[in-house]
């Protein structure tokens, strides 16, 4: 049986296999403490109006509003920029997870600037990590 600390540590870690041209790259998202109701995600593509993300295969993102926070790739993880988004669509991809299209709800200048500087770079095997938290309407 797992020790309580082991269960907590694993519940804050999400694992992804990201499809690239030649293989599937292993990527982990480590969630900060207190992010129990948030989903880890990877930004695969972005534009000035939104982004495509990958979430784990356990459950798709449902249509609705979310707070999206970009995470620093360090230990312990911490939030950087954040913005409000709406999930427009989801598509399952077997064991890989669910792809989701997120639209910025408001002017997201800071998020767009962040992604311009730190956006997805498959050649370098780098994808921005983020937290997606549902917002009650």
**CATH number, position 66:** 2.40.10
Q: How far is CA 118 from CA 25, 64, 70, 105, in A?
A: 18, 26, 10, 21
Q: What is the largest CA-CA distance in the chain?
A: 48
Count of domains in the chain?
A: 1
Per-residue pLDDT, 4: 40
Q: Which domain holds residue 74?
A: 4-134
Distance CA(64)–CA(89), nearest Å, equals: 10
What string of pLDDT tens digits covers the 137 residues of the chain?
444 433 334 466 777 778 777 778 788 788 888 888 899 999 999 999 999 999 988 889 999 999 999 998 878 888 898 999 999 999 998 878 899 999 999 878 899 999 999 989 888 888 899 999 999 86
Per-residue pLDDT, 57: 87
């Amino acid at each position: 049986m797992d020790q309580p600390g082991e269960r907590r540590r694993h519940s804050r870690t999400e694992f992804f296999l990201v499809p690239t041209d030649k293989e599937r790259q292993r990527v982990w998202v480590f969630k900060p403490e207190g992010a129990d109701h948030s989903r880890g995600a990877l930004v695969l593509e972005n534009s000035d109006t939104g982004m495509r993300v990958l979430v784990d295969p356990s459950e798709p993102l449902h249509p609705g509003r979310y707070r999206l926070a970009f995470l620093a790739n360090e230990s312990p993880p911490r939030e950087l920029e954040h913005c409000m988004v709406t999930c427009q669509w989801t598509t399952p991809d077997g064991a890989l997870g669910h792809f989701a299209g997120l639209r910025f709800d408001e002017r997201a200048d800071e998020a767009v600037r962040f992604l311009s500087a730190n956006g997805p770079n498959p050649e370098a095997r780098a994808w921005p990590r983020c937290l997606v938290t549902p917002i009650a309407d």
